[in-house]
Amino acid sequence: METGTFPTQGGRKPLGIIQAGLAKRKAAETRFKTYGIVAIAAGLVFLAILFISIVGNAYTAFQQTQVKLDLYLDPDVIDPEGTRDLDVLSGANYAAIVRSGLQDQFPDVESRRDRRALNALVGRGATYDLRATVMAVPDLVGETLTVWVPADDDVDMLLKGNIDREAAEEGRRLSDQQLAWIDQLESRGRLAKRFNADFFTKGDSREPESAGIRGAVVGSFYTMLVTLLLSFPLGVAAAVYLEEFAPQNRFTDIIEVNINNLAAVPSIVFGLLGLAVFINFFGLPRSVPLVGGLVLTLMTLPTIIIASRATLKAVPPSIREAALGVGASQLQTVVLHVLPLAMPGMLTGAIIGMARALGETAPLLMIGMVAFIVDIPQGILDPATALPVQIFLWADSPERAFVERTSAATLVLLFFLIVMNALAVVLRKRFERRW
């Protein structure tokens, strides 16, 4: 075909027009790329700020100021009759032993007032720890135990630089006298920041120095266990039925629309539903992981169904035809060929759904998992709280020492979320099959 047979702008040659417009196109492309880079950079900056602020606040919580005391386990105080009966051991006045251990360090403190001020330097948790130690090994009675006991949170905050020594005495949590004692203990090597094992092994407490996340982690674990066991099989079964077996009609369309809508329902609504149905109607106990798991199952189910249906759709029809072509029944085709190919995607969907459920707070508030619970839950019917709820509770506490613990708990929650998401990626990469 001869050139010039089509009309062009101003009768110019097509190549000339294209050349003239090139600079503009390139500029548009560069501009678009810049927007993209700016958007990603902004995202990364905010992520960095988030992590820096959380880690910056949190890392001090992994250390706790402790006091080294020589505790004489006085038989007259603990077990005057020498029976070593556990009831007697349990009811003994261990606080007196801890107090006398501390007063041994400062024998010249005489007055009641001063003694009380001195005793305030050691956290109350030391008493319970000592009782547990003696209950475990009753033969220790009569011996002298050298142990590190957690200092009071005010002492801890002082050593971490959160209490201003220069401030006026009245406006300070610690008196001049107490500061002097602390300095003396430190110079004798009896006061130091040590690894805060209690944070990982203890339940919640009103005293920051003995508050830990173990109860919340275990509560979250049981809640997630219930959620996983219920939502994964239900979600996969629903997805397989809808995708592979259900007839395409108005009824299934309505179901599909409703599932998509459920995925967008605010989570607190699921909490209200759980409160009304599971607790009020079925009479299940409050604050237990079972109910938490049921509520989160309702919340996770749509996510898992949608993700599973998407992966089922992605399995090539040629695989189904191949199986049907040799005479496999519909169920055999699905179970033997389609499901194995879709499983990695389904697992990924389930893990992402679980990660969302793990970070969910609002529905758990509605069903009472926000209660102050010290004991570590032993099962799905024990009152429990969950990690995000624990963060919420601590964020609400007035003590300065809870600030760092709030951040530390957030860090632990983020750690679990990152692990779960990484697991999803690994599973997808590992079991992804080509066909």
Partner 1 sequence: MYESEAKLAEPNATMRSGVGNVRATVPREHRQTVGNTRVDNPRIRCNKLNVYYGDTHAIHDINLDVGNNEILALIGPSGCGKTTFLRCMNRMNDTIPGCRVEGEIIVDKQNVNSPEVDVVPLRARMGMVFQKPNPFPKSIYENVAFGPRIHGLTANKAELDEVVETSLVKAGLWDEVKERLDQPGTGLSGGQQQRLCIARAIAVQPEVILMDEPCSALDPIATAVIENLMVELRQNFTICIVTHSMQQAARVSNRTAFFHLGDLIEVGETNELFIRPGHQLTEDYITGRFG
- Burial pattern 239-255, b for ≥16 Cβ within 10 A else e, equals bbebbbeeeeeeeeeee
Helix, strand, coil share (%) of the chain residues, nearest 5 = 70, 5, 25
Distances from the Cα of 81 to the Cαs of 3, 84, 86, 137, 141, in angstroms? Answer: 116, 8, 12, 17, 12
Q: How far is the CB of 323 from partner 1 (least distance, A)?
A: 7
Q: How far is the CB of 256 from partner 1 (least distance, A)?
A: 15
Q: 417: exposed, middle or buried (C-beta count within 10 Å: 0-12, 13-18, 19+)? A: middle
Q: Which is nearer to partner 1, 242 or 304 (CB)?
A: 242
Q: Which is nearer to partner 1, 36 or 317 (CB)?
A: 317
Residues that bind partner 1 (CB under 8 A): 248, 316, 318-329, 332, 336-337, 341, 433-435
Q: How far is the CB of 430 from partner 1 (least distance, A)?
A: 14
Q: How far is the CB of 37 from partner 1 (least distance, A)?
A: 39
Q: How far is the CB of 317 from partner 1 (least distance, A)?
A: 8
Q: Which is nearer to partner 1, 22 or 326 (CB)?
A: 326
Q: In degrees to the nearest 10, what's the CA dihedral of 409, 414, 417, 419? A: -100
Place of tokens 């009753």: 138
Tokens of 402: 């809870």
Distances from the Cα of 16 to the Cαs of 29, 47, 200, 210, 264, in angstroms? Answer: 20, 48, 72, 79, 53
Q: Which is nearer to partner 1, 37 or 314 (CB)?
A: 314
Q: How many whole angstroms separate alpha carbon 262 and alpha carbon 234?
A: 15
Q: Which is nearer to partner 1, 231 or 333 (CB)?
A: 333
Q: Which is nearer to partner 1, 250 or 434 (CB)?
A: 434
Q: Which is nearer to partner 1, 217 or 334 (CB)?
A: 334
Q: Give the CA angle between residues 153, 155, 156 to the nearest 5°.
A: 60
Q: How far is the CB of 319 from partner 1 (least distance, A)?
A: 7
Please count the residues of the chain: 435
Tokens of 133: 């130690």
Q: How far is the CB of 55 from partner 1 (least distance, A)?
A: 44
